[in-house]
Amino acid sequence: MARDLLSFGKPILVLGDPGQLPPIQGEGAFTKDAPDIMLTEIHRQASESAIIRLATMARQGEPIGFGRYDDHVWKMRKLDVTPEQALRGGQVICGMNATRLQLNNAMRRAAGFGAGGWLPTGPGEKIICLKNQNDLGLINGMFLTLSDIVDEGSHYLSAVVMDEDGNRIGAPQADGSRGRLRIYKGHFEDHVAFKGRHDRDWKLKKGLTEATFGWAITGHKSQGSQWENVVVWDDGLGRTEPDRRRWLYTVITRAEQGLVILA
How far apart (Å, rounded) are the C-alpha atoms in residues 63 and 67? Answer: 12
From the list 259, 190, 185, 195, the residue with the least C-alpha distance to 227 is 259
Task: Please tell me whether residues 225 and 209 are part of one structural domain.
Answer: no
Range of the domain at 121: 112-214
What total of structural domains would you count in the chain?
2
Domain presence at residue 243: yes
Last residue of a domain, one of 199, 214, 229: 214
Average pLDDT over residues 23-43: 80
Task: Please tell me whether residues 118 and 209 are part of one structural domain.
Answer: yes
69 has a pLDDT exceeding 80 = yes
Domain presence at residue 150: yes
Task: Please tell me whether residues 133 and 148 are part of one structural domain.
Answer: yes
For residue 46, the model assigns a pLDDT of: 65
> 35: number of CA atoms within 13 Å, CB side?
13
How far apart (Å, rounded) are the C-alpha atoms in residues 62 and 245? Answer: 9
CA distances from 147 to 123, 153, 187 (A): 5, 17, 18
From the list 211, 207, 214, 216, the residue with the least C-alpha distance to 234 is 216
Task: Please tell me whether residues 160 and 231 are part of one structural domain.
Answer: no
Q: What is the mean pLDDT of the chain?
A: 90
How far apart (Å, rounded) are the C-alpha atoms in residues 89 and 258? Answer: 8
E strand or H helix at 261: strand 255-262
**Does residue 187 contact residue 130 with C-beta atoms inside 8 Å?**
yes
Residue 173: strand, helix, or coil: coil
Q: pLDDT of 107-127, one tens digit each?
A: 999 999 977 788 999 899 999
Domain presence at residue 68: yes
Task: Please tell me whether residues 232 and 190 are part of one structural domain.
Answer: no
For residue 33, the model assigns a pLDDT of: 82
How far apart (Å, rounded) are the C-alpha atoms in residues 107 and 87? Answer: 7
CA 202 to chain centre: 22
Task: Please tell me whether residues 93 and 116 are part of one structural domain.
Answer: no
45 has a pLDDT exceeding 80 = no
Q: pLDDT of 189-238, one tens digit each?
A: 999 886 667 777 888 888 899 999 999 999 999 988 999 999 999 998 77
Burial of 226 (0-12, 13-18, 19+ CB in 10 A): exposed
For residue 200, the model assigns a pLDDT of: 78
Domain presence at residue 13: no
How far apart (Å, rounded) are the C-alpha atoms in residues 203 and 167? Answer: 29
